[in-house]
């Protein structure tokens, strides 16, 4: 959930240009950072073209720029540091519809560690972790309407009368194979999200239906 889908798609699309893809593959295959001159010579591409594409890849977060003195010397007379490129530590993934399996993996791993450390059940640890994650996600969007927050996290909200339907499940494959565990995790995550936003209009309810997330947001009962 940390990386917007639009930015991810744009980064991946940058590799569609053949010369740019060749340069990216070359830099990734090298054990040390690569200079413009080295890349141009290795692939037989003009230096200006190489520089343009390498900087484009760096701008999209696919490569990282570092500066090093290749002479091994420092101080006066050592020359200017060379501009070098290496693979970025940033992870980029695109899925349509959006999936958030990294979030599920993080929550499940943390829950197992909590259960081993405290002796509580893994399920209760997962519920607590999911609720905390939802609250944290809400704090990252202060003042943002609920629908926008849900959309940002891949749930594709649809207002149907007084109910908010969630047209997409970010954990769909996991929920298909482990419905009780994963749907309960989603329920607590969305409950935490509502609590964190301070939204008193809705409550998260577990109501599995084909083609939708297992959770719906229904109006809170009036007293």
* 93 in any annotated domain: no
Per-residue pLDDT, 1: 42
Q: What share of the chain is helix, strand, coil (3-state, %, to 5)?
A: 50, 15, 35
Range of the domain at 29: 5-87
Half-sphere exposure of 177 (CA within 13 A, CB side): 3
Q: What is the DSSP letter of 85?
A: E
Q: Which of 87, 111, 136 is the last residue of a domain?
A: 87
pLDDT tens digits, 17-61: 999 999 999 999 999 999 999 999 999 999 999 999 999 999 999
121 and 199 share one domain: yes
The answer, yes or no, to whether residue 71 has pLDDT greater than 70, is no
Instruction: For residue 218, list its beta bridge partners.
Output: 203
Per-residue pLDDT, 92: 75
Per-residue pLDDT, 73: 55
CA distances from 90 to 61, 62, 85, 93 (A): 7, 7, 14, 10
* 96 in any annotated domain: no
18 and 121 share one domain: no
129 and 35 share one domain: no
The model's confidence at residue 2, banded by pLDDT at 50, 70 and 90, is very low
Map tokens 């769909």 to a residue: 172
Map tokens 């999200």 to a residue: 193
The pTM of this model reads: 0.70
Q: Percent of the chain scored above 70 by pLDDT?
A: 92
* 186 in any annotated domain: yes
* 210 in any annotated domain: yes
120 and 211 share one domain: yes
Per-residue pLDDT, 203: 96
> What's 70's domain CATH number?
1.10.10.10
pLDDT tens digits, 168-216: 999 999 999 999 999 999 999 999 999 999 977 999 999 988 889 999 9
* 16 in any annotated domain: yes
75 and 130 share one domain: no
Query: Which of 175, 39, 49 lies closest to 104 in space, CA to CA?
Result: 175
Map tokens 């490569």 to a residue: 63
Residue 203: other Cβ atoms inside 10 A: 15
């Amino acid at each position: 959930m940390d990386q917007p889908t639009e930015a991810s798609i744009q980064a991946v699309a940058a590799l569609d240009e053949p010369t740019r893809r060749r340069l990216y593959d070359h830099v990734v295959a090298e054990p040390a950072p690569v200079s413009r001159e080295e890349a141009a010579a290795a692939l037989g591409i003009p230096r200006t073209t190489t520089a343009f594409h390498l900087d484009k890849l760096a701008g999209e977060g696919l490569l990282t720029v570092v500066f090093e003195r290749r002479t091994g010397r420092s101080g006066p007379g050592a020359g200017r540091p060379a501009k070098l490129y290496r693979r970025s530590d940033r992870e980029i993934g695109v899925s349509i519809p959006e999936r958030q399996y990294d979030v599920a993996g993080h929550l499940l791993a943390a829950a197992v560690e909590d259960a081993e450390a405290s002796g509580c059940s893994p399920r209760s640890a997962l519920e607590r972790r999911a609720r905390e994650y939802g609250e944290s996600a809400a704090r990252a969007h202060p003042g943002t309407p609920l629908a926008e927050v849900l959309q940002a996290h891949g749930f594709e909200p649809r207002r149907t009368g007084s109910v908010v339907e969630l047209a997409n499940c970010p954990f769909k494959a996991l929920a298909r194979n482990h419905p009780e565990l994963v749907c309960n995790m989603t329920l607590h995550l969305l409950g935490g999200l509502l609590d964190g936003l301070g939204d008193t209009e809705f409550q998260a309810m577990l109501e599995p239906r084909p083609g939708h997330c297992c959770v719906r947001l229904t109006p809170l009962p009036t007293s």
